[in-house]
Amino acid sequence: MAREITYRDALREALREEMYRDERVFLMGEDIGAYGGSYAVTRGFLQEFGPERVRDTPIAELGIVGLGIGAAIGGLRPVVELMTINFSLLAMDQIVNHLAKIYYMFNGQFTAPVVVRTVEGFGQLAATHSQFFENYFAYVPGLRVVAPAVPKDAKGFLKAAIRGNDPVIFIEHSLIYRNRGEVPDGEDFVLPLEGAEVRREGQDVTIVSWLRGYYLALGAAEELARAGIECEVIDLRVLRPLDIETIVRSVQKTNRLVIVEEGWKSFGVGAEIAAAVQERALDYLDAPILRVASVEVPMPYARNLERLVVPNKDRVIEAVREVLYQRLPAPVAR
């Protein structure tokens, strides 16, 4: 059986169930307790679980992650929250130099199974609060980086991340918390932290994306279908380890690939996917791989300008038509 719930509720269920299942699981982050979480994911948790297990912290991201690492080594299962991914930069030393390396550097003697929940997104928040940094984390061996787009994955991944033995960077998106989707019943529903998924089949063009980009891809595919173009839409779901095989298999069928990402195009996740696909399937490609990404400027505040920066459905449609040679290349950066 399954129920339809929101992405936010899927996360809430995962956290609650795992906190009941294992007393070592606790939450730590800025304003997750009394305030209820910036995005209300942990609303009511302080009352339900108490201040030992739902810990409001100072505004000290490096410390939050560092304490998480120590607590994990000491036998706990911390789920730490970085209020937004923009603030993760302050914790980067702990994440990259310590969290990701402890298991390897100390020769497998011990692990630091910390789940770092964080969220990206935009909404007239200007340059320092509207960034997409998943590539920063996906670059680092030792981290698992998940970016669930649908409620089912949000729940299954979060539960698996808490139960697993590796550090997990768990990236959410502020604009999809209210999206609804089917989630299987049962407290033992967990998903492996790997694997892309083909969510819509088609034979003309493959579109790969994740988080909000996945919904843009889906919207574009539906509109293109009315024009007789069938897109295969792949939800990447996990950025590290990257499931390139699923993408290659699809490209071998469609011979065309468009990647939709909200981050800046240069040095992004899309660049990695494009490189990996050409390594394995160059002969199958009938068109250049195109990336639909953010315009490379610090995010402006003004509504009209912000809209020009981030990808939208129309730009995805343009890119699909371009790889089908149905239009001339666009004059502006994509």
Partner 1 sequence: MTSTVDGQLPGVALPKSELLEMYRLMVLIRRFEEVAAEQYALGKIAGFLHLYIGEEAVAVGAIRAMDPEDHLVTHYRDHGYALALGLDPRRCMAELFGKATGLVGGRGGSMHFADASKHFWGGYAIVAGLLPIAAGLGLASKYLNQRRVAVAIFGDGATNNGAFHEALNFAALWKLPVLFLCENNQYGMGTAVQYASAVREMYRKACAYDIPAEQVDGQDVIAVYEATKRALDHCRSGNGPYFLEALTYRYRGHSMADPETYRSKEEVEEWRRHRDPITRLREQLLTHNVATIEELAALDRAVEEAVAEAVRFADESPEPDPATLTQFVYADPITVR
Q: Which is nearer to partner 1, 58 or 331 (CB)?
A: 58
Task: Name the site residues for partner 1 (rule: CB under 8 A).
Answer: 26, 52, 55, 57-58, 60, 62-63, 65-76, 78, 93-94, 97-98, 102-111, 113, 141-142, 144, 164-166, 192-195, 238, 241-246
**Cα–Cα distance measured from residue 69 to residue 319, given in angstroms and rounded to the nearest whole number:** 43
Of residues 18, 61, 172, 322, which has the active-site annotation? Answer: 61
Q: Which is nearer to partner 1, 200 or 249 (CB)?
A: 249
On the CB side of 80, CA atoms within 13 Å amount to 33
Q: Residue 164 Cβ, how far from partner 1 at the closest point, in Å?
A: 5
**CA distance readout (Å), 215 to 167, 223, 285, 317:** 27, 12, 25, 13
Q: Residue 79 Cβ, how far from partner 1 at the closest point, in Å?
A: 13
Is residue 261 part of the annotated active site? The answer reads: no
Of residues 81, 120, 129, 232, which has the active-site annotation? Answer: 129
Q: Residue 147 Cβ, how far from partner 1 at the closest point, in Å?
A: 15
* φ, ψ (nearest 5 deg) of residue 311: -60, 150
Q: Residue 78 Cβ, how far from partner 1 at the closest point, in Å?
A: 8
Which two structure tokens, joined as six digits, stand for 151?
């409620």
Which two structure tokens, joined as six digits, stand for 228?
């007789």
Q: Which is nearer to partner 1, 72 or 221 (CB)?
A: 72
Q: What angle do CA 180, 182, 184 make, to 5 degrees?
A: 140
**Cα–Cα distance measured from residue 312 to residue 261, given in angstroms and rounded to the nearest whole number:** 10
**Cα–Cα distance measured from residue 89 to residue 310, given in angstroms and rounded to the nearest whole number:** 21
Is residue 173 part of the annotated active site? The answer reads: no
Q: Which is nearer to partner 1, 15 or 140 (CB)?
A: 140
Q: Which residues are catalytic?
A: 61, 129
